[in-house]
Amino acid sequence: MGKPTGFIEFLREAPSELEPTQRIRNWDEFHLPMPEERLRNQGARCMDCGTPFCHTGTVISGMASGCPINNLIPEWNDLVYRGLWKEALDRLHKTNNFPEFTGRVCPAPCEGSCVLGIHNPPVTIKNIEYSIAEKGWESGWITPHLPEKRTGKKIAVVGSGPAGLAAAEQLNVAGHWVTVFERADRPGGLLMYGIPNMKLDKEQVVLRRLNVLEQAGIKFVCNTEIGKDMPAEQLLREFDAVVLCIGATRPRDLAIEGRDLKGIHFAMDFLTANTKAVLDQTETPLSATGKDVVIIGGGDTGTDCVGTSIRHGCNSLVQLEIMPQPPLERAADNPWPEWPKVYKMDYGQEEAAAQFGQDPREYLTTATKFEGDETGHIKAVHTVKVQWERNEKGAFVPKPIPGTEQVHPTQLVLLAMGFLGPEQYLLDSLGLDRDVRSNIKAEHGEYTTAIPGVFAAGDCRRGQSLVVWALNEGRGAARACDLYLMGHSDLP
């Protein structure tokens, strides 16, 4: 695959981006397109490694290694190198319904397990994927995928995030009539409201794909929350099958003194309100303008809060991270092809460093108390440094270090500490079984719940995870649903 000597001749070259001080002035995407010749050179670096690990999609040490949707990466790298862009898009669409999404927001576990990465910087797989997808849109190659015939079966998909959209498109291709229910005012779920516009443009990218899905025959019903606006039992009566892709939207809280003070918000509430304001061209009700912001938690959600707060024009910004700072290079206990747990600054931290002079993250730090003013509004966060030690059960736990206490002035606190699973009222109304983490109980690969004809996929089944795992599960659940309805399935 690629040019036999490409990995020797060409260095890894990442796409250019607007400088942080420029891009924080608006909500536009800031990645700059790479000329075709340089993209082909990057595809040439794919080194015909014999046993590629980039597309394996396994879990090692609790983290994805390789592509969870088993993208045929060496094949489309080779096609890009040869300038066969339409063929590369066709090969990419065999495994990935929405490469324009993953090419923007996936953390690229494929690159972490790239064989070239053992001794050189890995192939720029994510950027090549993004470029193939955009070439497809620009060239008019991406059109509605209409089924050859209709089966007459009706399917309800609850939730229009990446898992729900993948399931819906696959089931539509199989010939079923698909209706997607979404409680928000716009379809897209996490893709629409959970990821900021500068990371995934809504008008130019998300709506572009949603329009194609609608033209293919998929129906979207918004402002409808199943279990509240519509009884869950109604779905069971009116549809031949139901696929639940409701996500894991219950945020992890921080139960410390002062939690009930005004000015403390969950990260997703903050991000959703901001994106809605950007799309509606209104003022956001949760603004960081002129405020000292403290973000508690790392990960992609914390980073998105950083980037959003800076674009609001915050006065200062601190991001608390309870884990230690990762090493600059792979540690001995983090070998290839595991996901490399190394220090890096994502886009939000880069922007904070440009704005305030340093990475905003304070590692091995936890909040101990929220302090309010006389009006009941947050005015400070008390913190302490921690060290990780084994407790009497042998588990590592954070222990406060006396004498390391600090007080951070703040008028806005954002909690970005992950999620605990799906909201339970819909599960209660259907009487669905749950696992020990409160997720819908359904085996991976089967996706069947205790109720015949009801399937579950994505974060509501596996817990908070990556967009690519959501696509994996949405596609898998679609096949299981098609098999249930028809007795056989040609879906991959």
The domain locations on the chain are: 6-138, 154-249+420-486, 264-415
The pTM of this model reads 0.96
In this predicted structure, the answer to whether residue 139 has a pLDDT above a threshold of 80 is yes
Tens digits of residue pLDDT in 64-122: 999 999 999 999 999 999 999 999 999 999 999 999 999 999 999 999 999 999 999 99
* Strand locations in 120-254 (E): 154-158, 177-181, 219-221, 241-244
190-197 average pLDDT score? 97
Q: From CA 296, how far away is CA 294, in angstroms rounded?
A: 6
Tens digits of residue pLDDT in 395-448: 999 999 999 999 999 999 999 999 999 999 999 999 999 999 999 999 989 999
289-312 average pLDDT score? 97
**Structure-block tokens of residue 249:** 């939207």
**Structure-block tokens of residue 48:** 């015909």
Answer for the pair 105, 4: CB distance below 8 angstroms, yes or no. no
Among 25, 3, 14, 16, which residue's Cα sits nearest to residue 312? 25
In this predicted structure, the answer to whether residue 477 has a pLDDT above a threshold of 80 is yes
Answer for the pair 483, 148: CB distance below 8 angstroms, yes or no. no
Q: From CA 220, how far away is CA 187, in angstroms rounded?
A: 7
Residues 6+ apart with CB under 8 A from 161: 188, 189, 190, 191, 194, 245, 247, 458, 459, 470
Give CA separation, 69 vs 340, 440, 471, in Å. Answer: 19, 21, 7
Q: From CA 271, how far away is CA 275, in angstroms rounded?
A: 6
The CATH class that applies to domain 6-138 reads mainly alpha
Q: From CA 341, how far away is CA 335, in angstroms rounded?
A: 10
Answer for the pair 475, 69: CB distance below 8 angstroms, yes or no. yes
CA neighbours closer than 13 Å in the CB half-sphere of residue 174: 29
Confidence (pLDDT) at 475: 98
Q: From CA 263, how far away is CA 267, in angstroms rounded?
A: 12
Longest CA pairwise span in the chain (Å): 71
Confidence (pLDDT) at 288: 98
5-31 average pLDDT score? 95
Answer for the pair 458, 442: CB distance below 8 angstroms, yes or no. no
Give CA separation, 360 vs 66, 318, 421, in Å. Answer: 30, 5, 28
Superfamily per CATH, domain 154-249+420-486: FAD/NAD(P)-binding domain (3.50.50.60)
For residue 371, the surrounding DSSP H or E stretch is: strand 365-372
Confidence (pLDDT) at 1: 65
What are the φ and ψ backbone dihedral angles of 29, each rounded to 5 degrees? -60, 150
- Give the position of tokens 């379809």: 187
Radius of gyration from C-alpha coordinates of the chain: 23
Answer for the pair 182, 220: CB distance below 8 angstroms, yes or no. yes
In this predicted structure, the answer to whether residue 50 has a pLDDT above a threshold of 90 is no
* β pairing state of 264-266 and 412-415: parallel
Confidence (pLDDT) at 473: 97
In this predicted structure, the answer to whether residue 57 has a pLDDT above a threshold of 80 is yes
Q: Please give the full DSSP string across 389-400, using - where no structure is assigned.
A: EE-TTS-EEEEE
Q: From CA 71, how far away is CA 91, in angstroms rounded?
A: 8
- Give the position of tokens 């981006």: 17
Q: Check: CATH 3.30.2090.10 for 264-415?
A: no
Of the two residues 214 and 49, the one the predictor is more confident about is 214
Tens digits of residue pLDDT in 330-373: 999 999 999 999 999 999 999 999 999 999 999 999 999 999 99
Same fold, 6-138 and 154-249+420-486: no
Count Cβ atoms below 10 Å from residue 284 Cβ, excluding itself: 18
